[in-house]
Structure 1
Amino acid sequence: MARRKKVYEGKAKILYEGPEPGTLVQYFKDDATAFNAEKKDVIEGKGVLNNRLSEFFMDGLASAGVPTHFIKRINMREQLIRAVEIVPLEVIVRNRAAGSLSKRLGIEEGTPLPRPIVEFCYKDDKLGDPLVTEEHIIAFGWASQQDLDDMVALALRVNDFLTGVFHAVGIRLIDFKIEIGRIYDGDFQRLIIADEISPDSCRLWDVKTNQKLDKDVFRHDLGNLADAYTEVARRLGVLPRNATQMTKPTLIN
């Protein structure tokens, strides 16, 4: 059997060459990191859950007319995706104050924001993914003004979709981050959602209790991360309703 060529390895995923030109295989690891990888652990089954949850959200976005890089899930840990040119920015959408926003502005966590706020961070682990303005982005050529307008529009469409999906199962979407990639058809460029959408990239609180169901559980030692992600998957119907935390969850195809 031919050994696959690794294209890139990040904190939570590995990218391999795909079976066809213009495709990649995205492998979800069990690694958990926080505080720019200063805190690390391995959570058995996390990659399996995030693979399936990301598939669920990407399929839903496609059905809602939002373009993504997702093609199909291959197995428990891998999915086939379109190769894209990643814009070197994290796009963050905030519905309530939490995390770094609360620290920067002194706003109590959980405070509703007057409207969704879109922020950009420059993707550079060595720099700690610093917050940047639209002026920085345009000046340094990371994206054009048209790109930024399109990215904000895409991010807000994702926010509308995710907010509704989570609210229906008793979860409040506090904030989330996405990555966006460029694909080309001749001289024509299109921006699409890339990377993943999972509890790793969202801040999720139970509507009634404010219990955290995202990576903050790991960041702040609030319990078992696999339990939290399993609960999200169970509520969304990705796992059976009677499912409890499992190291190797049985997923619904």
Structure 2
Amino acid sequence: MARRKKVYEGKTKILYDGPEPGTLIQYFKDEGISSEAPVTSEAKGTEGKGVLNNRLSEFFMTGLNSIGVPTHFIKRLNMREQLVRMAEILPLEVVVRNFAAGELSTKLGIPEGTALPRPIVEYYYKDDRLSSPMVAEEHIVAFGWASQQDLDDVVALALRVNDFLSGVMMGVGVRLADFRIEVGRVWEGDYMRLIIADEISPDNCRLWDMRPVIDRGDGQPVAEPGPMADVYTELARRLGVLPTNVTHSPKPTLIN
């Protein structure tokens, strides 16, 4: 059994030292939801969730890399682990909303499911003790969490991720209501750039199934969005990444 040094453990993942400088091994757990920000699918801890999230995040990160959106993903190592690039994570959760849902509906009185006139980008300060409060760009720049140029780049990245994910999801009958990403800094010599980090999975997306069909009485059946049953398995099945053997691999032995 491999012996590695644990770098960090969160609600849904564990990070270990990677085999080469500047790399980490990201291990996906079954329990937990990854964000305190008000974005979620109907996801809950479920048997084999970590295996499915590993495959789904690989699928989305690989797709983003292929269209020129830089991510920390390097390669999947096994059923629960992937090799990623080390990055300095901005202390922000970046939320992109396409449809009214959750707090946006309850606080502003907008009916859930209402299409927004354009994608809305929000920021939440990463601090579990404060339940990740929403912050404005002025707070971020004033407290030195990121520069204005950083935020301009973050918005550009987030909107490109949104275009990609929305298209992929729509192609398999799923509506992407909103999602959360994390962004990190990496250096290449003296040049710094921002990349997508963490994961992209049902843990940090709100997904609605467009396939249920209802009859509203006028003889014209229509697709009505609703929660996806067993969102992890169903999304993996539709995208063609469902592993044939979902098993629990043991955690590596830790060294201090």
1:202-251 C-alpha deviation (Å, 9 max, x unpaired): 111012332213xxxxxxxxx6xxx22111111111128xx8xx8649xx
Query: Does 2:9 align with 1:9?
Result: yes
Query: Does 2:171 align with 1:168?
Result: yes
- Specify which structure has the bigger relative contact order, considering alpha-carbon pairs within 8 angstroms and separated by 6 or more residues: 2
Partner SS, residue 79 of structure 1: strand
Question: Which residue of structure 1 aligns with residue 251 of structure 2?
Answer: none
Per mean C-alpha deviation after superposition, the further-off stretch among 26-35 and 139-148 is: 26-35
Query: Does 2:26 align with 1:23?
Result: no
Q: Distance in 2 between matches of 1:42 and 1:135?
A: 36
Q: Distance in 1 between matches of 2:7 and 2:35?
A: 25
**Structure with max Cα Rg:** 2
Q: Show the 5 A alignment for 1:122-133.
A: 122-133=125-136
Q: Show the 5 A alignment for 1:1-253.
A: 3-33=3-33, 36=36, 42-207=45-210, 208-213=223-228, 227-239=230-242, 248=247
The alpha-carbon deviation at position 85 of structure 1 amounts to: 0.1
Partner SS, residue 5 of structure 1: strand
Whether the aligned pair in 2 keeps the contact of 1:44 and 1:248 (CA below 8 Å) is no
Per mean C-alpha deviation after superposition, the further-off stretch among 139-148 and 202-211 is: 202-211
Whether the aligned pair in 1 keeps the contact of 2:174 and 2:207 (CA below 8 Å) is yes
Q: TM-score, normalised by structure 1?
A: 0.86
Q: Distance in 1 between matches of 2:35 and 2:53?
A: 20
Q: Distance in 2 between matches of 1:41 and 1:233?
A: 16
Whether the aligned pair in 1 keeps the contact of 2:177 and 2:208 (CA below 8 Å) is yes
Number of aligned pairs?
A: 231
Q: Distance in 2 between matches of 1:159 and 1:127?
A: 27
Q: Distance in 2 between matches of 1:41 and 1:120?
A: 23
Gaps of 5+ in 1: 214-222
1:75-126 C-alpha deviation (Å, 9 max, x unpaired): 0000000000000000000000011211221111111000000000000011
Gaps of 5+ in 2: 38-42, 211-222, 249-256
Q: Distance in 1 between matches of 2:188 and 2:49?
A: 36
The letter of the residue matching 2:18 is G
What is the aligned-residue identity percentage?
71
Whether the aligned pair in 1 keeps the contact of 2:33 and 2:203 (CA below 8 Å) is no
The alpha-carbon deviation at position 188 of structure 1 amounts to: 1.3
Q: Distance in 1 between matches of 2:240 and 2:44?
A: 27
Q: Distance in 2 between matches of 1:30 and 1:4?
A: 20
